[in-house]
C-alpha cells in the first residue's frame, strides 16, 4: 500500500489542502488563510486527526513561495525546519513541479500544483 501525503499550501487568501495516497486524491479542502487561524495548534490538530483516521504516520509537504517566512501554521520552526511527531513529518517545498496524472476527485479547486508535490518521492527532496 502506498503511503499518504498531505500537501498544505498557505496564501494570504486561503490555505489549500490535498490528501493523496500515491497518485490518487482522497480529499481536497480550501480553508481560511493562516492570518485568520486563531489557535496555534489548528493545523497540527487536523493532521493528527487524519493520521489517527488513516492509522498511519503522514508525510506532510508545506508548499510555500521562496519569499515567504519559514514559520507557518505552527508546522515549522523559525528557521523553516519542518516539525516531526508520531503522527506526521513536515517537509517544506517551493511551489511548482509536474508529474504523471492519477485519479482525481472533482469539485473544490484544480490543486494541480499541490498534486505534483504528492508525487515527488521523499528521497528526491
Say if residue 121's pLDDT is above 80.
no
Q: What is the pLDDT of residue 98?
A: 52
Q: What is the pLDDT of residue 68?
A: 56
Q: Is residue 55 part of a domain?
A: yes
Number of domains in the chain: 1
Q: What is the pLDDT of residue 93?
A: 86
**Which range of residues forms the domain containing residue 49?**
4-120
Contact, 76 vs 63, CB < 8 A?
A: no
CA dist 77 to 43, 51, 91, 100, 117, Å?
A: 14, 21, 12, 32, 21
Q: Is residue 125 part of a domain?
A: no
CATH of the domain at 78: 3.30.420
Residue 97 binned pLDDT confidence (cut-offs 50, 70, 90): low
Give the residue with greater pLDDT, 55 vs 102: 55
Q: What is the chain's alpha carbon radius of gyration, rounded to the nearest angstrom?
A: 13
Q: Is residue 39 part of a domain?
A: yes
Say if residue 55's pLDDT is above 70.
yes
Q: From start to end of 11-121, where are the E strands? A: 15-21, 24-31, 58-64, 88-94
Biggest distance spanned by C-alpha atoms of the chain: 37
64: left (phi over 0), alpha (psi -120 to 50) or beta: beta
Amino acid at each position: 500500500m502506498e503511503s499518504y501525503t498531505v500537501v498544505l499550501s498557505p496564501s494570504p487568501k486561503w490555505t489549500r489542502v490535498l490528501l493523496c495516497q500515491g497518485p490518487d486524491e482522497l480529499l481536497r479542502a480550501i480553508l481560511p488563510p493562516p492570518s485568520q487561524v486563531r489557535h496555534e495548534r489548528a493545523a497540527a490538530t487536523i493532521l493528527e486527526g487524519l493520521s489517527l483516521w488513516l492509522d498511519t504516520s503522514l508525510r506532510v509537504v508545506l508548499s510555500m513561495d521562496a519569499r515567504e517566512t519559514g514559520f507557518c501554521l505552527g508546522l515549522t520552526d523559525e528557521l523553516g525546519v519542518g516539525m516531526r511527531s508520531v503522527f506526521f513529518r513536515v517537509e517544506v517545498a517551493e511551489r511548482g513541479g509536474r508529474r504523471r496524472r492519477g485519479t482525481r476527485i472533482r469539485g473544490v479547486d484544480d490543486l494541480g500544483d499541490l498534486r505534483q508535490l504528492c508525487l515527488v518521492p521523499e528521497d528526491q527532496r
